Amino acid sequence: FHSNSMVPQLKKILLDTVFVIILILILTALGLCTWTYRGVMTPLTQLKEATKNIKEGNLDFTIEKTGVDEIGDLCDDFEEMRKRLKESAEEKVAFDKENKELISNISHDLKTPITAIKGYVEGIMDGVADTPEKMDRYIKTVYNKANDMNVLINELSLYSKIDSNIIPYNFEKININSYFKDCVDEIGADLEQRGMMFSYRNYCAANVMVTADPEQLKRVINNIINNACKYNNKAKGKVGITLTEYDRKVQVAIKDNGIGISKEDLPHIFRRTYRADMSRNSAGGSGLGLSICKKIIEEHGGEIWAESKLRAGTTIFFTLNKVIDQSKEK
C-alpha cells in the first residue's frame, strides 16, 4: 500500500523536474538568442547598412560601437575607415575646386596680354603707328606683353612639375654666408636698375652651413624679391634681407615697404589659387610665386610665413636647417 502511494508522487516530481529543465533550456535559448541578436546581429546589420551607404557614395553617417568585443572592434575600425574615406573625398573636392580656380585665374591672366597684343598688332596693321616713334612703342609693348605671357606659362609649368614631384632636388651643404653674399651682389644690382633701395644684414657666424638645393633656394629668393618690387607703389621702394641664426635653423627675412596685405588675405597668400584685391592683380603674374616658394621650402624641411600691414609693407620669413656637428652635440 505504501509503495503504491509513492508512485504518483515520484511521477509528479519527475514531471516537475523535466518541466523545470525544459523551462531552463528555453530561457537559456532565449537568452542566447537575445545576446546573439544584440551582440552580433545588430552590429552586423549596422555594418551591412554602412557598406551600402559607402557603396552609394554616402559618407555622412556614424557607426556606434556595439556588440561583443571583437564585433565592437570591427565597428570601430569601420568607423575609422569611413572617416578617412570622407576626409579623402573632401580633400579631392577641395583640390578639384582649386584646380578649376587656378585654370580660371590663369585663363584670365593670359587673356589680358593677348588682348593687348591683338590691339597693338591691329593698330600696326591699320597704320595707326604712322611714325617711327609710335611703331617703336607699339613693338616694345607687344614684346613686353609676350614676355608677361611667357612668365605666366613658365610659372604654371614649374608649379605643375613641383606639385607632381617631377623636379629632382640636389641638396648639398652650403655656407650660408658665401651663398647670400653672391645672391645679394646680384640682387643689389638688379634692384638698383629698378630704382629700389636695398639693404642686407647678416647675424650668422662665418662657418654656418645649411642643407639646401642652391638653384631652388635662389628661385624662392627671386620670387619673393620680384613680388616685393611688383607690389610697391612708393616713390622710394625698399627691400631688405636679414639672416638670423638659431640653434638648429637659419631664418631668412625679406622685407619690403610696399602696399602690404590685409589681415583677411594674409593667411591665404601661400595658396596656389590666392587672389587678393585688384590693385595687386593689376601688377600681373599668376599668383603662383608664393605657392611655389612654400612647396620648395617645405621640401627643404623648413617653414615659411608672412607678416604684413596695409600700406606699410610685407615681410616674408622662411627657415633652413643647419648642418649640425654631431661630435659637438656629444
Alpha-carbon Rg for the chain, nearest whole angstrom, is 36
Residue 1 has pLDDT above 60, yes or no: no
Query: What percent of the chain stands above pLDDT 70?
Result: 86
Amino acid 324: pLDDT: 82
Q: 251-274: buried (b, 16+ CB within 10 Å) or exposed (e) per residue?
A: bbebbbbbbbbeeebbeebbbbbb
Q: Which residue has the higher pLDDT, 5 or 200?
A: 200
Q: Which residue has the higher pLDDT, 10 or 310?
A: 310
Amino acid 73: pLDDT: 75
Amino acid 53: pLDDT: 79
Amino acid 177: pLDDT: 94
Average pLDDT (108-133) is: 86
Amino acid 57: pLDDT: 76
Residue 109 has pLDDT above 50, yes or no: yes
Amino acid 37: pLDDT: 62
Q: Which residue has the higher pLDDT, 94 or 135?
A: 135
Per-residue model confidence as pLDDT tens digits over 44-83:
777 778 888 777 777 777 777 665 566 777 777 878 888 8
Per-residue model confidence as pLDDT tens digits over 198-255:
999 999 999 999 999 999 999 999 999 988 888 888 888 999 999 999 999 999 999 9
Residues 228 and 193 sit within 8 Å (Cβ to Cβ): no
Q: Which residue has the higher pLDDT, 140 or 287?
A: 140
Phi, psi for residue 315 in degrees, rounded to 5: -125, 125
Amino acid 277: pLDDT: 41
Amino acid 145: pLDDT: 87
For residue 36, what pLDDT band results from cuts at 50, 70 and 90? low
**Kind of pairing between the strands at 209-212 and 249-256:** unpaired
Amino acid 74: pLDDT: 76
Amino acid 69: pLDDT: 63
Identify which of 160, 146, 88, 139 has the alpha carbon closest to the alpha carbon of residue 115: 146
Per-residue model confidence as pLDDT tens digits over 137-164:
889 999 988 888 887 788 778 777 777 7
CB atoms within 10 A of CB 151: 17
Tell me what the pLDDT averaged over the chain comes to: 82
Q: Which residue has the higher pLDDT, 99 or 148?
A: 148
Amino acid 35: pLDDT: 65
Amino acid 329: pLDDT: 53
Average pLDDT (280-286) is: 42
As a whole number of angstroms, the distance between CA 291 and CA 156 comes to 11
Amino acid 6: pLDDT: 67
The 3 state secondary structure assigned to the chain is CHHHHHHHHHHHHHHHHHHHHHHHHHHHHHHHHHHHHHHHHHHHHHHHHHHHHHHCCCCCCCCCCCCCHHHHHHHHHHHHHHHHHHHHHHHHHHHHHHHHHHHHHHHHHHHHHHHHHHHHHHHHHCCCCCCHHHHHHHHHHHHHHHHHHHHHHHHHHHHHHHHCCCCCCCCEEEEHHHHHHHHHHHHHHHHHHCCCEEEEEEECCCCCEEEECHHHHHHHHHHHHHHHHHCCCCCCCEEEEEEEECCCEEEEEEEECCCCCCCCCHHHCCCCCCCCCHHHHCCCCCCCHHHHHHHHHHHCCCCEEEEEECCCEEEEEEEEEECCCHHHHC
Residue 279 has pLDDT above 70, yes or no: no
pTM: 0.64
